[in-house]
Amino acid sequence: MEGQRKTYRAWDAQQNCHDPVAPCDALPANDLVFFLIDLIPQLDLTPFHAYYARELRGQPPFDVTLMVTLLVYAYAVGVCSSRRIAAACERNLAFRAIVGGDRPDFRTISDFRKLHRAALKPLFVEVLRVAGELGMVKLGNLATDGTKMRAHASRHKAMSYGYMAQEIARLEAEVERLLRDAERLDAEQDAAQGSRRGDELPDELKRREDRLAKIRAAKARLEAEARAAAAAEQHRREEARAQREAEGRRRRGREPAPIDPTPEDKAQTNFTDPEAKIMKQSNKGFDYSYNAQAVVDGEDQIIVAAAVTPAANDKQQALPMGRAALANLEAAGIERPKAADGTAAPIPNTADTGYFSAEAIRGLERIGLDPYLAVERQKHHEAASESEPTAAAAEADVKETMRQKLASATGKVLYAARKRIVEPVFGQTKGARGIRGFLLRGLEKVAAEWQLICLTHNLLKIWRHTGGVEASARG
């Protein structure tokens, strides 16, 4: 056996480098990329084309259908950075199947995503329409929930309201000192170099004045937010007082403290994304984030409404998300279930205790939803507790009425299903696709990016529903 070794399969690296590889030969026939290449051209992309109808000059841009397909596929497989997408167009066979030999660079991809953010909402509805036509939206249980998504904002470029006042005073003093120094230098240089325009600013002074302007603007933002919050609290107190007077009740407990319209010293704002807010994360830490909301249908976990809010609390989101869901369903041509008399039947809408309020319950009922909102926090796998049977009087408290509704047989089934309807959607987005934060900045752009994330979630569901398998390649 000496001098002998195992025989290996032939390998010619130089030849392999020159062998042509066609995506259709190398990838499975039911790969996600081929599904999207077939589907996207069938969707109404008019909002994307409309942008170019306004400007006919210049070099031809990349084909709209190509760019939409590229962006959708990239987000579907968790490749969201424009630079990573551009790199994948060079190295990844599935991306090459979309772009071929004419590959857009990262700036073109980034600009396309920003320029067409308004068109992502109609595209979301188009994808929802496809899901409806496939029978994937039954409207037996619409579950609402939210998740904290990291903002593209640096924690090192933020400042508290209390520190702003100190920093403004310090910078004002430095600016005044630098102006005196500039005047002295001007006088000395006039004698040596002749007259100057007089409007030049030393770089050191300009940097401080720019920083001073940014801090003043940030301080004004915090003060405006505090005034708005104070006005909302004052309105809430007045409504509560009017209701007590109408019912002939007296206030219980002490009078609340006067409303202070000034921000707390610890209130913070961020300079890279001023609309992002500090929010508690699932790991118990805190970071600049947005609260991404979704309404999910219980049949196949299709998202029927998606929105983003800078408010960490979900209390005010139940009614807007309900309205958005119904508007999207109507735009997508998905009919609501019918009652025995032929009228539209209320659609069950479940949400956790963070969404509960009497106003939310009444509002959801007015627009044709049947709310099942938890009135108190429950353990993750614990069903709603039984309540003592009481006669439902006309003046019954909204919370008690909802508690009894959740304790009913129907309520238990619907609310128990909420966890497996909406919560896995966020797990699939963050865990399976690795999308844990936004790349764009500002509420409007972030909201458009969340629409893109959610419509690609729906496309993945449609692909699997029609016989697709999990794509193996990631950029």
One digit per residue, the tens of pLDDT, for the chain of length 475 reads 567 888 888 888 888 777 788 888 889 999 999 999 999 999 999 999 998 887 777 788 999 999 999 999 999 999 999 999 999 999 999 999 999 988 999 999 999 999 999 999 999 999 999 999 999 999 999 999 999 999 988 766 666 666 567 766 776 676 777 677 667 766 666 655 555 454 555 666 667 677 667 777 766 767 776 777 778 777 777 877 787 777 777 777 777 888 877 777 667 776 678 888 888 887 667 888 999 999 999 999 999 999 999 998 998 999 999 999 999 999 999 999 888 888 889 999 999 999 999 999 999 999 999 999 998 765 544 444 444 333 333 335 888 899 999 999 999 999 999 999 999 999 999 999 999 999 999 999 999 999 999 999 999 999 999 987 544 333 3
Residue whose pair of structure tokens reads 């959708």 in the numeric block: 72
Specify burial of residue 111 (Cβ count, 10 A radius: 0-12, 13-18, 19+): middle
Residues in the chain: 475
Q: Residue 445: which of 179, 170, 113, 220 has the closest Cα?
A: 113
Q: Which residues, other chains included, contact 306 with Cβ-Cβ below 8 Å and sequence gap of 6+?
A: 124, 292, 293, 294, 295, 324, 450, 451, 453, 454
Distance CA 345, CA 336 (A): 7
Closest CA relative to residue 50, chosen from 122, 129, 127, 130: 122
Percentage helix, strand, coil for the chain under 3-state DSSP, each rounded to 5 = 50, 10, 35
Radius of gyration of the chain (CA): 29
| pLDDT confidence of residue 346 | 94
pLDDT at residue 385, as a whole number = 45
Report whether 278 contacts 268 (CB < 8 A): yes
DSSP 395-413: T--HHHHHHHHHHSHHHHH
DSSP assignment of 412-464 = HHHHHHHHHHHHHHHHIIIIIS---B-SS-SHHHHHHHHHHHHHHHHHHHHHH
Angle at 113 between CA 107 and CA 115, to 5 degrees: 95
- CB contact at 8 A, 117 and 317: no
d(CA 290, CA 308): 7
- Whole-number pLDDT of residue 389: 37
Structure-block tokens of residue 354: 């963070």
Question: pTM of this prediction?
Answer: 0.79
In the block, tokens 């196949």 appear at: 300
Tell me phi and psi for residue 349, to 5 degrees. -135, 115
Residue carrying structure tokens 């992002």: 276
